[in-house]
Amino acid sequence: MPVWNYSGVRQNGERTRGLIDADSLQSARQKLKKEGIIPVSLDAHSRETAARSAQPTQGRRQRLSGRDLSTFTRQLSILVGAGIPIVEALGAILDQGGDTPPARIASRIRDQIKEGRPLSVAMGGETGVFSSIYLNMVRAGEESGTLEIMLNRLADLLEKQVGTRRKILGALFYPLMLLAVGILMVIFLLIVVMPRITSIFHGLKAALPLPTRLLMGSSDWLRTHLVSSGLTVLAAVYLAQRMVRTRRSTVDRWFLRIPKIGDLVLATQAARFSRTLGVLLSSGTPLQKAMEISEAVLTSEPVRQAVSRARVEVSEGLALSRSLRESKVFPLLAIHMIAVGERSGKLEELLIKLAEGYEQEIDQTIGTLTSLIEPVMILFIGGIVLFMVMSILLPIFEMSQAVQ
């Protein structure tokens, strides 16, 4: 459906502008009049956008980034909490202008609600945008009359996930950038600089030190096999990806055994499971359904398998803490907290506290790993550069001594 960019005046004299979906220009005018807006200007946002939007949207997947989704949810929760009806709240988000994915999704959801569909059903029609936990919490909020609370909890959950992902990526960015720059610098020196220096050494016809011979041989080999080396690296990356996909469980178990890295992965999975399950239980979702959704948000295959077995055993009457203990994957602290919550009847509260504790542990672990990785990377690259410099200087020192 084409997207139209409009500006107009409301019945109270307030000027407004934004986007609206309509099959034609006349249909867009009628939609605006039904909303109490007198259009002043109305045109397709752009030819490219109109042509793309005119294509059938059924079957297309349109995703929102984690940041966009958390922002959209927070804005909607604030507007609903202020007592604004859903249709007007979505209209306020749409009125911010701009042909952005959140604006287009808000427009389609608003049209669905105007036709009499509940918010959860309208959101469920946006394939690939809203997750199962999102839709279940919105549905629970509609049925219980606590939509504002559910949207607030969803916004908190999404912001926590985005914040954790940003911290991990931020911690890895500098070491990876440092490693990439170091590798490119070494390749440049071997391919461009070393041939000019080796031509001088070859002309001397003298015995060269072992480091110099190694460096010259590496330079010659890399210049000769540059294309094949690049293809080999690409093939290795492709095979590694295939291995991760086909043997995901084995690879994840290896990661869990790596010191520090395994603790970080396990803490991340435990925090994600605890927060998701706690938020769902506090919203009134049954335990079986809540565990099914919580299982879907896990990315480590051993942890997901443990939760899957626990879900089956809980349906047979076994306690959640006992089932997770038998899996020998979950941390003992998490199992103990869940057991206390089951005995006290405050499982959802303790799960939220457990998630907060693990999130603090993740921050500390990331800080520790960053402080360890950075000096290791610097020493590694510095050692390579020192080796190259010494390999070039050693023959010069020997020649100077021979002249003396």
Alpha-carbon span 203 to 176, nearest angstrom: 40
In a domain, 350, yes or no: yes
Alpha-carbon span 249 to 220, nearest angstrom: 41
Give the chain's domain count.
2
| pLDDT band of 63, cuts 50, 70, 90 | low
Nearest to 338 by CA among 273, 263, 268, 294: 273
| pLDDT band of 54, cuts 50, 70, 90 | very low
Q: Which residue has the higher pLDDT, 278 or 29?
A: 278
In a domain, 107, yes or no: no
In a domain, 75, yes or no: no
In a domain, 85, yes or no: no
Structure tokens that stand for 45 in this block: 């946002």
Contact 186, 391 (CB under 8 A): no
In a domain, 168, yes or no: no
Are both 193 and 326 inside the same structural domain?
Answer: yes
Q: Domain of residue 362: give its range.
A: 178-404
In a domain, 343, yes or no: yes
Are both 223 and 365 inside the same structural domain?
Answer: yes
Are both 196 and 50 inside the same structural domain?
Answer: no
* Residue pLDDT, tens place only, 235-249: 988 888 787 777 777
Question: Does the pLDDT at position 317 exceed 60?
Answer: yes
The CATH number of whichever domain residue 247 belongs to comes to: 1.20.81.30
- pTM comes to 0.61
Which residues are registered as beta bridge partners of 176?
none
* Residue pLDDT, tens place only, 122-160: 888 887 788 877 887 788 778 777 788 888 878 887 887
pLDDT of residue 49: 43
Are both 200 and 349 inside the same structural domain?
Answer: yes
In a domain, 127, yes or no: no
Are both 225 and 358 inside the same structural domain?
Answer: yes
In a domain, 299, yes or no: yes
The CATH number of whichever domain residue 29 belongs to comes to: 3.10.20
* Residue pLDDT, tens place only, 353-391: 998 888 888 878 877 777 777 788 888 888 888 888 888
Report which DSSP code applies to 190.
Answer: I
Per DSSP (E only), the strands in 275-333 are none
Averaged over 329-348, what is the pLDDT? 88
Are both 351 and 214 inside the same structural domain?
Answer: yes
Per DSSP (E only), the strands in 157-239 are none
Longest dimension (CA), the chain: 98
Which residues are registered as beta bridge partners of 43?
5
